[in-house]
Amino acid sequence: MSTTPLKIGFIGLGIMGTPMAGHLMKAGHQLFVHSLPSIPADVVAAGATACGSGREVAQRADIIFVMVPDTPHVADVLFSETGVASGLTAGKTVVDMSSISPIETKVFAGKINDLGCDYLDAPVSGGEVGAKAASLTIMVGGPQAAFDRVLPLFQLMGKNITLVGGNGDGQTTKVANQIIVALNIAAVGEALVFASKAGADPAKVRQALMGGFASSRILEVHGERMIKRTFNPGFRIGLHQKDLNLALQGAKALGLALPQTAGAAQLMQACAAQGWDQLDHSALVKALELLANHAVAEAPAA
According to DSSP, the residues that pair with 30 across neighbouring strands are 7
Active-site residue, selected from the candidate residues 26, 159, 174, 286? 174
Pairwise CA distance, residues 139 & 168, whole Å:
10
Name the nearest CA neighbour of 171 among 254, 62, 74, 96. 96
State which H helix or E strand residue 60 sits in. helix 54-60
Among the listed residues 58, 57, 53, 61, the one whose alpha carbon sits nearest the alpha carbon of residue 82: 53
| φ and ψ at residue 128, rounded to 5 degrees | -60, -40
Q: Where are the beta strands (DSSP E) in 62-185?
A: 63-66, 93-96, 118-121, 124-125, 136-141, 158-165
Alpha helices in the chain (DSSP H): 17-26, 41-45, 54-60, 71-79, 102-113, 127-133, 144-157, 169-197, 202-209, 217-228, 237-254, 259-273, 285-292
The number of beta carbons lying within 10 Å of the beta carbon of residue 292 is 15
Q: What is the β-pairing status of strands 93-96 and 118-121?
A: parallel
Told to judge if 174 belongs to the known catalytic residues of this protein, a careful annotator would answer: yes
| Closest CA relative to residue 151, chosen from 22, 2, 19 | 2
Q: How far apart are CA 130 and CA 234, in angstroms?
A: 10
- Give the C-alpha separation, 43 to 25, whole Å: 9
Active site positions, annotated: 174
